Amino acid sequence: MALRVTTTLLIGLSLLLLLLSWSVIQQRRKEGVSLGDGDQLMMRRKIRAQGNLAEYGPMFVLLIAVAEITSGASVLLWVFGLIFFIARVLHGIGLSYTQNSPVLRSMGMVLTLTAFLGAIGLNVLVLLGT
């Protein structure tokens, strides 16, 4: 069974993680910080954007993978995967590539939580056999 939704999501999120990681590396070079955040606000923001994706991404991908394995690819899996990816892009831009964009960060988190609840709901429905 090819896990097309899961694989597509993993590719997209991995590329986003590489982009956010590169942003951290560039900021480290700019600030001359090799470890930690050097007490620099922008350094902290970039580290958190990268870390936030690393924290939320794996659990969401697992939810999508389990739903795809147990029920096959569905339009809802694609929709929730796309919402999550867009959410993580918005959050990453808002936190890492702007001086202060609470709107992008907030939109990113609302969409992240929406996608999570949707993926959880799909898994509950599969578990209940509907």
Percent residues over pLDDT 70 in the chain: 99
Whose CA is closest to 96, among 14, 34, 28, 32?
28
Q: What is the pLDDT of residue 73?
A: 74
CA distance 30 to 117: 39
Q: Which of 19-28, 56-65, 68-77 has the lowest mean pLDDT?
A: 68-77
- The yes-or-no verdict on residue 56 having pLDDT over 80 is yes
Interval 92-97 mean pLDDT: 90
Q: Indicate the CATH number of 4-128 among 3.30.450.20, 1.10.10.10, 1.20.120.550, 2.60.40.10.
A: 1.20.120.550
3-state secondary structure 82-102: HHHHHHHHHHHHHHHCCCCCH
Please check the confidence at residue 70 and state whether its pLDDT lies above 80: yes
**Domain boundaries, given as residue ranges, for the chain:** 4-128
Confidence (pLDDT) at 37:
85
User: Across residues 12-31, what is the average pLDDT?
Assistant: 95
